[in-house]
Amino acid sequence: MGLQIEDELARLATAPVPGQRHQGMALVKYTVVCQGNAAEVLCKAREALVAGLNVVTQAGQSAHDPRGVLPSWFVERSSTQRRMSDEESRRWVERWKKLSWRRKRKEMAALEGLPWTTEGWLESLESTDRAWYWWDAQVDGPDAITVFLLITEWPFAPAAFKWLCRAAGAARIEEDLEDFLR
């Protein structure tokens, strides 16, 4: 995972070279719909993702308060719900692992509009179950951004990516499976 995150950080700073091959399963295209502020949304999304990836690749999020490292706008938009106890978390993970993928997708869709906690979002970035990585993005005008995610398995859960975009100011995020690139 660390090597992939290092590569991801490099791609967040500089777009991949045209024709560069990826080591994942495929690229999935997303259209991030904005309200006249696409350049700002993309800048904020990159800023928060870089900060989050730096937190999880360094001493770990438990070593310090990650809210001091993440952009203040991201922390302000995140949920302040209390963190689960270790026992609650263990029970939740046990239950989650038993669910079918279809049920997981249904539950994730129900939660999609809700803000994430900063801790939950960071945990999703360092999770061994994480199957998406930032590949590339471009502003397509004032109201749209195209983002390509490198996925390492199918199906995958893009909820943390979608929360990142919503927190950055996106109006909605559309998955384009017709343009599923191998």
pLDDT per residue over 16-29, tens digit each? 888 888 888 889 99
Domain boundaries, given as residue ranges, for the chain: 22-181
Report, as an integer, the average pLDDT of 120-125.
87
pLDDT value, residue 178: 65
Strands 132-139 and 144-151 turn out to be antiparallel
The rounded radius of gyration (Å) of the Cα atoms in the chain is 16
Q: How far apart are CA 119 and CA 79, in angstroms?
A: 10
Match 């310090």 to its residue by tokens. Answer: 64
Q: How far apart are CA 60 and CA 51, in angstroms?
A: 12
Question: 81 pLDDT exceeds 70?
Answer: no
Q: Which amino acid is at 7?
A: D
Q: What is the pTM of this model?
A: 0.80
CA angle (162 as vertex; 60, 107 as ends), nearest 5: 95
pLDDT value, residue 153: 86
- Rounded to the nearest angstrom, the gap between the alpha carbon of residue 10 and the centroid of all alpha carbons in its chain is 16
